[in-house]
Structure formats: structure tokens, C-alpha cells
Structure 1
């Protein structure tokens, strides 16, 4: 592992030359040390990819607490990370994140579709818990790259059925990786969530 200071990133390096680059960021209350991100990056590295987990700009400013400042500033940080990804290795770039990080990344690839080849949100926060009428899908029709949503069936930020309906707005190829019984943290004692998510992303890339 090594540090990428310009994006407060940590790399997970494969054996040999990388197939491509994966850039993942964290949820609203988290940081790059999220156990989920670590496990997913380990999985990607084991498949021959260079995987990077990085902090969003608000998290670089202060170590704890919810997002502060404007979300557009966080999206600028994602643009910086994905731009950097193209210089780290040849091959495709896979972009995503957990919850807030995945949502902001999905907005970035609408505005900058050339920065990534596959979008991989984890626990997309479809709506605030208990407020299903406040959907965060207004940009979905602009997503033009393949997208793989990994989502727990007990996630309070959106049911699987709500997600299935929402992704019909996306004109590109979409897959949903269902994690039975998992909540927003995607914890599962029965399923290998990183392996399932990586398998789906690789099939979307093909």
C-alpha cells in the first residue's frame, strides 16, 4: 500500500501490472478507513486491479462529522480523483463509493462521462429514512455508463423494489447486487459482498 497525498488516498496494489484502476470513496459519516471500502479494495487488488480508497474534501478538512460546505466541492474532489486515476495505470476506470460518496460519484459521471467506464454505488441513499417521497434520482436519466448498485434488502435508505423502479430511469446497462438481510453498512455473514460486487462490475465492463 502507498499514499496518494493529493486526494488523501490509500492504494491497494495488485501483483504485476494493473488491469485498470478503481476509485472508491466513503459515506457521509465515514472516511477512507471504512471496513467495507478496505474489503472491496482488497478484492479488486486480488483480481489484478489497482484500487484506491480516498477521502472526500470535507473529510480532509476535519476528521469527524457529517459533510460540511457544499456538495459541489466534494464533487470537485471526485473529479480530481478520477482524473488522477487515468494517470495511475492504463485500462478502464471504475468509480464508486458508499452511500453519500456513491451518490456524489453518480452525479460526477453525468457531468463527466469520460472520466469512468463503470459506476459502482454501494448502498445508494435513494431517499432519507422514512421519507420515500424525497427521491434522489433527478440525475439518473443522465447516467450513460454501465452502473452496478450493491444494496441491502433491509436498507432504510431505500428498498430493493424502490431501487429497481428508480434505475429504470437510467438509459445504460444496470445491474443490482442484492445483499439479503443487509442494512446500510452491507454487513452479511452469509454472502461475500466484495466478491459479488466485483463480479458484477467486471461483467458490466465486458
Structure 2
């Protein structure tokens, strides 16, 4: 069962949920996408399944989500939030466990920008990286990724309008050698597959196996 927490932020706090593994091997920080917060069924399904795989998960809201606003925080704010959450978790929750960073779409992109700005993490995991806006494949959001030296896992749906398969494959091939992409056949930006019969929670949980395998591979290298 998820435990509600609050993380200090400026004059107030950020809402967070902890899904603690029974005997954790690692700690995963998880940020939501632009349109739904940490209590969305996709986020809940993913976090619960990853925790069952032996990795504790802390998901947190960006300030705009807690404030009930429609539009995401600007990048400097979101990056600062990521760095604050990472620092707070390191001091209060993760102990000696290695810490990984993950995010759905916007949340993952902001995590990578935080790492580019000096945030410490064992690796980055993207749940549908928004490489470009739909039908705007000439404007890629990839420049800050190339200098990063941490391992990166891109989990992508083959029908995602934010990630042309050919372009995404090319981008990942030009990142550091520890980076990889895993494709989910028929999945859209939220990994929904037409007529799959799965719930939104099950769509999220379906990414846990690839996530856990990637994290365990990184731990085995240490």
C-alpha cells in the first residue's frame, strides 16, 4: 500500500507517495507526465509493480499539479524540483540504496535536464520520452541528452506520436553505449494498445519488467 509523504519545497511542500519494496535492491524516483499526477492509475500500476520487483518507488507531484493548474511548470522550476526531491530522498529515505530516476513523458525529460544540470543518479528511465511534438519531427528535444554519461533506458510505444520510431532509434544509437530503447508493439504515448483488454493500471504495470531488469543490470556492473 502506498504511503503518503510530503517533501519540503520553497514555502510549502510537494505531495509524494512511497511504494516500499519488502527487501529493496534500489530506490526509484518517479515523476508524472504533464497531464496527470502521481495518483493516476498508470502511475499507481507502474509504481506498485516495480516495488513488487524489489525496487522501492517514490513518486512526486510537480508544484503546478499540487496547485491544480493546467499547464506544467517551466523547465527551470521542474529541474529545481527534481534536484530538491533527489537531495531530500538521499537524506531521508534511500539510505545506502542506489538511486535511479524515472519519469513519464514530461517528468522524464525534466529528469534528464536535471542530470544535465548536475543531479546525481545511477541511471535514467523514460516512460515515453517526448522526442518531438506530434507532427513536428523537425524539432527534436535531444541536444541535452548526448553529453550525459549515465545509462539511459527509453521505454517507447511503436504508435507514440511523440516518438517517431526511426528518429528515436537513431537518437539512442548516438547516446552513450549504456543507453538502450525497448519498444512496446502497438503502444501509444501512454502505452495503450487498441483492443488489448488491459486497464490503465495494467498498462503501467506492463513496463515494470523491463524497468527492473535494466536496474538490476546496472547494479550488477557495480
Matched with 2:146 is 141
State the Cα distance separating 1:95 from its structure 2 match. Answer: 0.2
**Where in structure 2 are there 5+ consecutive unaligned residues?**
8-13
Please state how far the C-alpha of 1:58 moved relative to its aligned partner: 2.1
Q: Higher relative contact order at CA 8 Å, sep ≥6: structure 1 or structure 2?
A: 2
In the alignment, which residue of structure 2 is the partner of 1:29?
Answer: 35
CA contact (8 A) 1:8 1:54 kept: yes
Q: 1:126 aligns with which of 123, 131, 139?
A: 131
- Indicate whether 1:59 and 2:42 are aligned: no
* RMSD (Å), alpha carbons: 1.8
2:189 to 184, 192, 206: 184
Determine if contact 1:21/1:85 at 8 Å carries over to the other structure.
no
Please list every run of at least 4 consecutive aligned residues from structure 1 whose deviation after the TM superposition is greater than 6 angstroms.
none
Consecutive unaligned residues of structure 1, counting only runs of 5 or more, are: none
Residue number in structure 2 paired with 1:77: 81
| TM-fit CA distance, 1:172 | 4.4
Query: What TM-score does the superposition give when structure 2 sets the normalisation length?
Result: 0.84
2:210 paired residue among 169, 173, 196 = 196
- What residue in structure 2 maps to residue 105 of structure 1? 111
The answer on whether the counterparts of 2:137 and 2:164 sit within 8 Å (CA) in structure 1 is no
| Deviation, structure 1 residue 48 | 2.1
